[in-house]
Amino acid sequence: MAQQLTFQVDGHARSIEVDDPAMPLLYALRDELGLINPRFGCGLGQCGACTVHVDGRSVRSCITPVRSVEGKKITTLAGVGTPEKPHPIQKAWIEEQVNQCAYCINGWVMTAVELYDRNPRPTDEQIKAAFAPLICRCGTHSAAVRAVKRAAQSA
């Protein structure tokens, strides 16, 4: 039976009807709401490509049942900043020219944004601990660490 769910996405109230409230949030965001991020990487919570913030905390949307975000605030990569008003992490990411293909970028930037918003001057160990679960096949790991340190310097 279809069920109505309401939550906020990037500052906008969104309401969807789902047959299966256990459906992962990722499919709600992509298939129902037409977002072009986050991305499907593994469906297992092992890589981070689907990462969004729910009430400010990074979650893997590929294993988060959509019913669990009812009434909550979801922020995606497209919602943390704009070219006109970038988040300090996005600004540093561009300055550091971190990415290659960037398929994995939601995991890295959303993790970095959460870290920065709580602790703008993290240590190397704290940055690496935050990034530890993430997969990137292009090899941007160290460049991502440098971007967080760059953002920290201007914090």
Partner 1 sequence: MTNDDSKALVIHRRTFLTASGALLVSLAAPFEWAEAEAIGGTTRPPVGFDQLDSYITIDPDGTVVAYYGRIDGGQGLETAIAQMVAEEIDVPFERVRVVMGSSTVLDMGGASAAQGVSQSGMTLRRTAAEARRLLIDTATRTLGVPADQLTVTDGVVHAISDPTKRVSYADLIGGRYFDTKIKWNGRTGGALAVDTPAPLKRPDQFKVIGKSIPRRDIPPKVFGRMEMVSDVRVPGMLHARMIRPTVAGAVPVKVDEASVKDIPGVRVVWIKDLLAVVAEKEWNAVKAARALKVTWSESKPNFPGNEKLHEHIRQAPVVKRTIQRENGNVDEGFKQAVRIIEGEYEFPTQSHASTGPGCAVADVRADEATVWTSTQKPHGTAACVADLLGLPHDKVTAIWKFGTGSYGRNDQADAAADAAVLSKHLGRPVRVQYMRHEAIAWDPKGTASVNRSKVGLDAAGKVIAYENISKAFSRQDMNPREQAASDVLAGHLLGASAKPNLIFEIPVASYTFDHGRLGWEIIPALMDRASPLRTTHLRDPFGPPILFGSESFMDEVAAATSTDPVDFRLRYLSNPRDRDAVRIAAEHYGWQKRPSPRNDQKDSEVAVGRGIAFRRHFDTFIALIAEVRVHRKTGKLDLVRYVCSHDVGMIVNPETLKAVIDRQLVYGTSRAMFEEVRFNENMVTSVDWVTYPVLHVDDAPAQIDIVLIDRPEAAPSGAAEMCLGLVPAAIGNAVFDATGVRLRRVPFTHERVKAALDRA
- Closest distance of CB 35 from partner 1, Å: 8
Give 36-42's long-range contacts (Cβ < 8 A, gap of 24+). Answer: 36/78, 37/76, 37/77, 37/78, 37/105, 37/106, 38/76, 38/77, 38/106, 39/103, 39/104, 39/106, 41/103, 41/104, 41/107, 41/135, 42/135
Min dist. Cβ of residue 135 to partner 1 (A): 6
Q: How far is the CB of 12 from partner 1 (least distance, A)?
A: 15
Query: Shortest approach of partner 1 to residue 3 CB, angstroms?
Result: 13
Report the run of H or E that residue 107 belongs to, with start and end. helix 105-118
Q: Which is nearer to partner 1, 78 or 119 (CB)?
A: 78
Between 103 and 120, CB nearer to partner 1 = 103
Q: Are 56 and 117 in contact (CB under 8 A)?
A: yes
Encode 34-61 in three state secondary structure.
CCCCCCCCCCCCCCCCCEEEECCEEEEH
Tell me which residues touch partner 1 (CB under 8 A): 19-20, 23-24, 27, 30-31, 34, 36-37, 39-44, 46-47, 49, 76-79, 81-83, 86, 90, 93-94, 97-106, 109, 128, 131-145
Nearer to partner 1, 5 or 144 (CB): 144
| Closest distance to partner 1 from the beta carbon of 120 (Å) | 18
